[in-house]
Amino acid sequence: MAKKETIMSNIYKVNSLEDYKKQREKKEGLKNIFLERIDLKKSREETVEQLISALKKNGWKFKEEGK
């Protein structure tokens, strides 16, 4: 039962993306740095590239593999 309660505590009833961000920030006490839409219908490789691109666009830096 405890696991079900945990899952249910992360559900937000919202009317817009802005409403979702405000509710989440208020409930969890954390400020959203960025929120990007990810297309889950793409292949795994395309999804990974999309995630990396979103992170780089928002200031994250990555070390090159093999170095």
Residue pLDDT, tens place only, 6-61: 445 566 666 787 888 888 888 888 888 777 888 889 999 999 999 999 999 988 89
Cβ(31)–Cβ(25) below 8 Å: yes
Q: Give pLDDT, residue 3.
A: 52
Q: Considering the entire predicted model, what is its pTM?
A: 0.53
DSSP annotation of 59 reads T
pLDDT exceeds cutoff 70 at 4: no
pLDDT exceeds cutoff 80 at 66: no
> Higher model confidence: residue 15 or residue 5?
15
* Residue 56, token pair as written in the block: 């780089």
- Alpha carbon dihedral 18, 21, 26, 30, in 10-degree steps, equals -140
Q: Which residues contact 62 (CB under 8 A, 6 or more apart)?
A: 52, 55, 56
